[in-house]
Homo-oligomer: A and B are copies of this chain.
Amino acid sequence: MPSLVTQHLLSLLRIDLPIIQAPMAGVSSPAMAAAVSEAGGLGSIGVGGVNVDGARAMIRDVRARSSRSLNVNVFVHAPAPADAAVASAWIDRFRPQFEAIRGAPPARLTEIYTSFRDDDAMLSMLLAEKPEVVSFHFGLPDPSRIRALRDAGIVLLASATSLAEARLAAAAGVDAIVAQGYEAGGHRGIFDPDAPDDRIGMAILVRILARTLRVPVIAAGGIMDGAGIGAALQLGAAAAILGTAFIGADESLADQGFRDALFSDAAQHTVMTRIISGRPARCLANRFTALAAGIAATDVPSYPIAYDLGKALNAAAKAAGEPGYGAQWAGQGAPLARALPAADLVRLLADEMRYR
Contact = CB atoms under 8 A, between A and B. Distances in A.
A200 B183 contact: yes
A198 interface: yes
A236 interface: yes
Contacts of A204: 183, 202, 221-222, 224, 228, 331-333, 336
Contact of A207 (B200, B211, B225): B225
A244 to B, nearest CB: 10
A181 B201 contact: yes
A312 interface: no
Bin the interface of chain A by size. Answer: 35 or more
- List 10 tightest A-B contacts by C-beta distance, closest first: A204-B222, A201-B201, A231-B231, A183-B201, A231-B234, A203-B203, A204-B332, A230-B234, A231-B235, A204-B333
A182 interface: yes
A167 to B, nearest CB: 11
B268 A336 contact: no
A182 B202 CA distance: 11
Contacts of A348: none
A79 interface: no
A336 B201 contact: no
Contacts of A285: 196
A340 interface: no
A199 interface: yes
B200 A332 contact: yes
Given A201-B332, A234-B231, A268-B163, A207 B182 contact: no
A228 B203 contact: yes
A291 interface: no
Interface in A221-273: 221-225, 227-228, 230-232, 234-236, 268-270, 272
